[in-house]
């Protein structure tokens, strides 16, 4: 367990005990102390303490209590005085330290278990029994958020997420690597879908306030702990597909991938045949960036010429001229609904094929 946790306990107690006190190991190395400057130093009396048969011993004006779990020494609590009340103080410090240790070890075991589920490292038949041993509810609603961030030396994403969702027994934050963090969030039985979107937005906004660029993939809600792995894979897929078809989108929900999900599942050979069928050779590539931006705006405004020209700050006739030019190059009149659909799908197919080449 991190010595930071022991130090946190010591800091809470030092207002009660006047003398210097702390926790050290069997060599005398001080892990945590009311005088934090002493941390990392050695208590020279450790060897004598270890020789003593009794757990509680007073040596050279200092009181020591050796703490054992299953006959194994865990640590030595000490107070730099020989007051008769010291045994009580040391016992209370030790009990709290052990409880703290047990709590965080159980928490660590839970995180390892849940990580094993999402990484497919635990046999499905073992999940229910192990969950029971760890006191994890089996049949509650949960959803997985996969948070992808840029690498940062100064910002620890998991600490920010843990701060947002401090319920240690219901919500779990798992670090996969420097760029990916998983949040397994427990939901109420009568949850609404908009609550999930709200959680994803809170994550994005909070990380953004810390100057961390992030994207969030959201899996489907599952009601059995065995299905957490599926929700994770869906969140992973949502990030992947979202990155291909709408790279600017910060939150990608597996339930809202739209036509991108369909195209992603198509064989690349079929996609290539479709593009060759729709466009004459080189016609799509001949469309410059300004033309593609015009097309994008035209689609965003539901093929409305007047509204698109207004948003582009151009005359209506200028937009009509551009659309005529696109029709001449591609053979598709984007003012016609059927042609617009074909072009829109073709744009997405092209993005998919380009991404496939990128990952080859």
Burial environment of residue 53 by CB neighbours within 10 A (0 to 12, 13 to 18, 19 or more): exposed
Closest CA to 232 of 189, 172, 184: 184
Parent domain of 293: 267-358
Spatial separation of the C-alpha atoms in residues 351 and 215, rounded to whole Å? 19
257 within domain boundaries: yes
Q: Does 333 lie in the same domain as 294?
A: yes
* Tens-digit pLDDT profile for residues 297-306: 999 999 999 9
Contact 154, 115 (CB under 8 A): no
Using the 8-state DSSP alphabet, how is residue 222 labeled?
Answer: B
Give the CATH number for residue 332: 1.10.10.2840
For residue 30 the two structure tokens come to 């001080």
Q: Does 289 lie in the same domain as 240?
A: no
pLDDT in tens, the chain (360 residues): 567 888 889 999 888 888 999 999 999 999 999 999 999 999 999 999 999 999 999 999 999 999 988 788 989 999 999 888 899 999 999 998 888 887 777 667 888 899 999 999 888 888 988 888 888 888 899 999 999 998 776 668 888 998 999 877 789 999 998 899 999 999 998 888 899 999 999 999 999 998 889 999 999 999 999 999 999 999 999 999 999 998 889 999 999 998 999 999 999 999 999 999 888 877 888 888 999 999 999 999 999 999 999 999 999 999 999 999 999 999 999 999 999 999 999 999 999 998 865 544
Closest CA to 237 of 123, 173, 149, 146: 146
Q: Does 180 lie in the same domain as 220?
A: yes
119 within domain boundaries: no
Number of Cβ atoms within 10 Å of the Cβ of 248: 6
Spatial separation of the C-alpha atoms in residues 114 and 226, rounded to whole Å? 10
Spatial separation of the C-alpha atoms in residues 304 and 319, rounded to whole Å? 11
Contact 260, 275 (CB under 8 A): no
DSSP β-bridge partners for residue 146: 182, 217
For residue 131 the two structure tokens come to 């969950």
Q: Does 224 lie in the same domain as 146?
A: yes
Helix (H) or strand (E) holding 147: strand 142-149
Give the CATH number for residue 161: 3.30.70.270
* Tens-digit pLDDT profile for residues 136-157: 888 899 999 999 998 776 668 8
């Amino acid at each position: 367990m991190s010595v930071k946790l022991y130090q946190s306990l010591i800091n809470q107690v030092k207002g009660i005990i006047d003398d210097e006190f702390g926790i050290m190991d069997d060599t005398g190395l001080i892990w945590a102390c009311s005088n934090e400057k002493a941390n990392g130093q050695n208590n020279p009396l450790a060897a004598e303490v270890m020789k003593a048969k009794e757990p509680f011993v007073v040596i050279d004006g200092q009181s020591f209590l050796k703490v054992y779990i299953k006959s194994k020494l865990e640590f030595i609590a000490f107070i730099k005085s020989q007051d008769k009340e010291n045994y009580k103080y040391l016992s209370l410090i030790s009990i709290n330290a052990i409880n703290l240790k047990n709590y965080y070890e159980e928490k660590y075991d839970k995180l390892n278990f849940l990580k094993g589920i999402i990484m497919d490292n635990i046999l499905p038949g073992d999940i229910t029994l192990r969950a029971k041993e760890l006191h994890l509810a089996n049949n509650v609603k949960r959803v997985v958020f996969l948070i992808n961030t840029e690498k940062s030396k100064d910002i620890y994403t998991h600490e920010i997420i843990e701060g947002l969702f401090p319920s240690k027994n219901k919500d779990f934050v798992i670090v996969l690597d420097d760029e990916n963090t998983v949040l397994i969030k427990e939901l109420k039985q009568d949850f609404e879908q908009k609550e999930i979107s709200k959680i994803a937005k809170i994550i994005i906004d909070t990380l953004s306030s810390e100057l961390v660029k992030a994207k969030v993939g959201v899996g489907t809600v599952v009601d059995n702990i065995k299905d957490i792995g599926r929700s994770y894979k869906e969140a992973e897929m949502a990030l992947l597909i979202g990155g291909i078809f709408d790279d600017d989108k910060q939150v990608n929900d597996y339930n809202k991938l739209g036509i991108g999900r369909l195209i992603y599942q198509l064989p690349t050979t079929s996609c290539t045949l479709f593009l060759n069928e729709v466009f004459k050779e080189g016609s799509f590539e001949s469309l410059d960036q300004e033309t593609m931006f015009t097309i994008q705006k035209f689609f965003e405004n539901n093929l409305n010429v007047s509204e698109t020209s207004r948003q582009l700050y151009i005359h209506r006739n200028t937009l009509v001229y551009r659309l005529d030019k696109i029709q001449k190059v591609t053979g598709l009149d984007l003012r016609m609904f059927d042609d617009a659909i074909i072009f829109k799908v073709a744009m997405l197919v092209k993005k998919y094929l380009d991404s496939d080449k990128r990952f080859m």
